[in-house]
A = this chain, B = another copy of it.
Amino acid sequence: MDIRRDVFQAIADPTRRAIITLIALQAMTPNAIAEHFDTTRQAVSKHLRILTECELVKQETKGREIYYQLEIDKMKEIDQWLEQFRKIWETRFNQLDDLLSTIKKQKNEK
C-alpha cells in the first residue's frame, strides 16, 4: 500500500467511493463510518489514510474524536479530466440532434 497516490487511484476502490459519498454532506468519525461497512474499523482507517494522502479528505480533531470531511474541491480534478471527453460527447450529441432535426424537416416537407 504505497507509492502511487492520486485521486483516480483513490476512487478505484468501491469502499472508498462509498466513504466519499458518506462524508460528502457531513464530517464523520472513523468509528461512525466503519459502522456502515462490513469491515473492521482498522480497514476503514486505512482507507481514510489513503484518502488523506491524496488530499480528498481532511481531518478535524475534537477531543478524542477525529472528524473526516470531504475536500470537495479535489473532486473537481476528476471533473477536469473528464472535460476533454465531455466536449466530444456534446459534439456527438449535437450531431445526432442535427441529424434528427434534418429527418424531421424532410418528413414535414413530404
Q: Which of A62-90 contact B (CB under 8 A)?
A: 70, 72-73, 75-76, 78-79, 81-82, 84-86, 88-89
Q: How many identical subunits does the complex contain?
A: 2
| Contact indicator B79/A75 (Cβ below 8 Å) | no
Is A1 an interface residue, CB under 8 A from the partner?
Answer: no
| Contact indicator A24/B84 (Cβ below 8 Å) | yes
Interface residue total, chain A, C-beta cutoff 8 A: 26
**Which label, helix, strand, loop or mixed, suits the secondary structure of the A interface?**
helix
| Contact indicator B85/A24 (Cβ below 8 Å) | yes
A contacts, CB < 8 Å to B: 4, 6, 8-9, 11-12, 14, 17, 21, 24-25, 70, 72-73, 75-76, 78-79, 81-82, 84-86, 88-89, 92
A-B contact pairs, 17 of them (CB 8 A): A4-B14, A6-B14, A8-B11, A8-B14, A9-B12, A21-B84, A24-B88, A25-B88, A70-B85, A72-B85, A72-B88, A72-B89, A73-B89, A75-B85, A76-B89, A79-B82, A82-B82
